[in-house]
Structure 1
Amino acid sequence: MGLDTKPLSTLHGKSSYDLEDFPVPTGREESWRFTPLSRLRGLHDGTAPVTGSVVVEVHPSPEVSVETVGRDDSRVGKAYVPADRVSVQAFTSFEKATVITVPKEAVTSEPTVVNLRGESAEGATYGHLVVVVEPLAQAVVVLDHRGSAVYADNVEFVVGDGASLRVVSLQDWAGDAVHVSHHHAQLAKDATFKSFVVTLGGDLVRLSPSVSYTGRGGDADLSGLYFADAGQHLEHRLLVDHSVPDCRSHVDYRGALQGDEAHAVWIGDVIIRVEATGTDTYELNRNLILTDGARADSVPNLEILTGEVAGAGHASASGRLDDEHTFYLQARGIPYEEARRLVVRGYFAQLIQKIEVEEIRDRVLAAVEAELAR
């Protein structure tokens, strides 16, 4: 399979299954300029020895089926064509893919949990996951990443007519982990997709969620929370491609940073094509910088190719803790450190409440508390 020459936009113009179609990035490219390539440990240039291991364990809801398939399975790569070199490297290098299927009209009784446990950061490994939600079905899927790894993977979410999928992706890696991942959701007519990304661990994590539509009435809600500590690089690059009329998307990512050389990057690209009349979209990113030496880069991009939209907007803000908020609490007898924690809790609270899996919600709350206690 060669290069897809159909132009997508001035923001993203190339997709392919072939590695040779993507030159090794130098860091001067727009899509790589924020990423410290030297810390990717060879994932970007093919020099990473494939000697690592990430164990995948699926704990399915009783209503769903789970299969381990080869790369020749027709469901693999059907919804998503890789859009950069690491993604296509992962696509051409994985050995087995996991396929989770939610049958037509099924309503799952509990979340399906996919545990991905890295066993070593000494060598790279690659993976692929496909989640198919058939028409009118409803499901919740949790992706839980832990351990040490140098890992690149692609995840495809295929949501059928009238179906609903809610996904929680938790990046809780060990401090030496490197993870580069693409999550792509393909929404059919009247499909609903809600994603919540939590990125806390790892030395370098670069996650690229994307959404495309194949029928009217698709609705995507993408939320994210990240907390970068000293030396961490946490990068989220989103793309929502509106190519069908009367679809909706809403993006809300919030981060906090503390410690020397803590670095967070958020890129939000929304494209409204000529044919996507009636689109309703909004994207928001906020970053709370808690200490000196931390840096946040936030770049929202909105490309509108039709004047017939229901709504389109974006916003981005990065700044320090508001002194007025902490002063208000201190004036009521609350010590500064506790006042600081209360303000940050409030900053994240609205987002965390959107996590529908209680166990994961409690775990994220505990993780934020642990970060603030440092």
Structure 2
Amino acid sequence: MTASTTAPSEAQHTNAHIDPAAQVAAAGFVPVQTRSERPHSFEPSDFGVPTGREVNWKHTPVAKLGPLFEVATQNDGVSYTFETGEQYVSSSLAAGQAPRGEVFLAEDVTAAVAWQGAADALHVQIPREEEVAEPVLVSVAGLGADRRADAHIVIEALEHSSATVVLQHTGSAQYAQNVEIIVRNGAKLTVISLQQWEDDAVHLAAHQARVGADATLKHFVVTFGGGIVRVNPNIELAGAGSEGYLYGLSYADAGQHFESQVYMHHKGPHTKGDVLYKGALQGQDAHSVWIGDVLIGADATGTDSYEANRNLVLTEGARADSIPNLEIETGDILGAGHASATGRFDDEQLFYLQARGITEEEARRLVVLGFLTDIVQRLGIPALETELLAAIEAELAEVNA
């Protein structure tokens, strides 16, 4: 879909005010302006192959993603292992078999590819009123950089249940993934997507969730590995009193591209949302992209919502793109806001620490740890928190080497 670029005649050149929106409308094409207006389809051909000019692809290296724009001919690029919680795996779900598709609507070509390519969806179901103390850990292991896989995963927390589900990605593959999250009324669910891929892995994922009345979803995207990793969460706070907390943490090295396009839709009344993504970058062509969209719908009275993205650029040659957007359709809310900041080390913080006898290298380490630890401590899994802090230390050792 492209707008006409026919040049206006000489007679049309005047000093009158030019309205770009009116010109586009007159050309017969109005581009998608907001996340809520994006088209949906389960047919990859309805989207076509991205060119990089589309609003949702313009920050992504689409030239490197060719294999993921077509359904995998051999869906054997990854293996799945349940480290804990296998008892919560239900029968796999074919397309059209509930609850698969109850929430999920593909909004780009790779999500449609994953839908078509995943004949059977993995279904994790937490029983009604059950409180699961130990995290359900699903290990997704890539079997080779030249191998493809499509997946659809359904995570369902039934009424008044409580659980944490971790998707841990390692190895290498070219992986198109859909994650459909259903949080029934009164349930409390935490979903952690942990990307620890090898540097040649490509992982494109669409996470879509619906949160019922008086239910809570905590959703984490933690990315430390992979060549190109794009995880896009789309959360609908549908029920009255529902809450959504979306957190992200990334650390990009030279040549890595980490991206998240986050969408939170406040649909029900008296909903609460909090979005906070933090990233660190170091090395030539390290690139992070964060686009945050919040829609407060017409019926979402009494809503309280805030989104923020913070990036710390540690070396020359690294780049962070950050775009927050907020759309409000009702004036009867408690509060709404957004913020974005990208910068280098705070010289005053470094001076303060060095003035107390701390070396510059150690001062930089403490600043980065303090910046990123905020997200790590929200996970609520001590063993995983320790693992991620060690990973941050290892990254810092490279930049200080």
Confirm whether residue 282 of structure 1 aligns to residue 302 of structure 2.
no
Q: How much does 1:359 deviate?
A: 1.4
Q: Which residue of 1 aligns with 2:148?
A: 124
Q: Which residue of 2 aligns with 1:24?
A: 49
Confirm whether residue 92 of structure 1 aligns to residue 116 of structure 2.
yes
Contact (CA 8 Å) 1:62, 1:109: kept in 2 or not?
no
Alpha carbons of structure 1 residues 337 and 159: separation in structure 2 relative to 1, 3 Å? same
Contact (CA 8 Å) 2:71, 2:113: kept in 1 or not?
no
Q: How much does 1:121 deviate?
A: 1.3
The residue identity in structure 2 corresponding to 1:123 is R
Distance 1:91 1:48 in 2: 11
Q: Which residue of 2 aligns with 1:139?
A: 163
Q: In structure 1, the residue corresponding to 2:250 is in which secondary structure?
A: strand
Structure number with the higher helix fraction is 2
| Number of corresponding residues | 367
Q: How much does 1:97 deviate?
A: 1.3
Deviations 1:6-64, CA, capped at 9 Å, x for gaps: x99565331122223212211111100000001214213x2876465110112343773
Q: In structure 1, the residue corresponding to 2:258 is in which secondary structure?
A: strand
Distance 2:96 2:135 in 1: 28
Q: Which residue of 1 aligns with 2:24?
A: none
Distance 1:260 1:47 in 2: 33
Q: In structure 1, the residue corresponding to 2:391 is in which secondary structure?
A: helix
The residue identity in structure 2 corresponding to 1:30 is V
Q: Which residue of 2 aligns with 1:150?
A: 174
Matches within 5 A, 1:249-260: 249-260=273-284
Alpha carbons of structure 1 residues 110 and 64: separation in structure 2 relative to 1, 3 Å? same
Give TM-score scaled by structure 2 length: 0.88
- Find 1:223's aligned residue among 213, 238, 247: 247
What's the % identity of the aligned pairs?
45
Matches within 5 A, 1:34-53: 34-44=59-69, 46=70, 50=74, 52-53=76-77
Contact (CA 8 Å) 1:124, 1:149: kept in 2 or not?
yes
Q: In structure 2, the residue corresponding to 1:222 is in which secondary structure?
A: strand
Give TM-score scaled by structure 1 length: 0.94
Distance 1:21 1:285 in 2: 32
Distance 1:71 1:138 in 2: 27
Distance 1:67 1:234 in 2: 33
Q: Which residue of 2 aligns with 1:261?
A: 285
The residue identity in structure 1 corresponding to 2:136 is T
**C-alpha root-mean-square deviation of aligned residues, in Å?**
1.7
Contact (CA 8 Å) 1:53, 1:149: kept in 2 or not?
yes
Structure number with the higher strand fraction is 1
Matches within 5 A, 1:178-193: 178-193=202-217
Contact (CA 8 Å) 2:75, 2:117: kept in 1 or not?
no
Q: How much does 1:70 deviate?
A: 3.1
Q: Which residue of 2 aligns with 1:338?
A: 362
Q: How much does 1:161 deviate?
A: 0.6
Distance 1:297 1:9 in 2: 18
Q: How much does 1:65 deviate?
A: 3.9
Contact (CA 8 Å) 2:312, 2:344: kept in 1 or not?
yes
- Find 1:323's aligned residue among 344, 347, 356: 347
Q: In structure 2, the residue corresponding to 1:148 is in which secondary structure?
A: coil
Instruction: Please say which of residues 49-58 and 132-141 is displaced more in the overlay.
Output: 49-58
Distance 1:153 1:142 in 2: 15
Deviations 1:132-186, CA, capped at 9 Å, x for gaps: 1100000111110000010011001100110000122110000100000011111
Q: How much does 1:68 deviate?
A: 3.0
Q: In structure 1, the residue corresponding to 2:144 is in which secondary structure?
A: strand
Structure 2 unaligned runs (5+)? Answer: 1-31
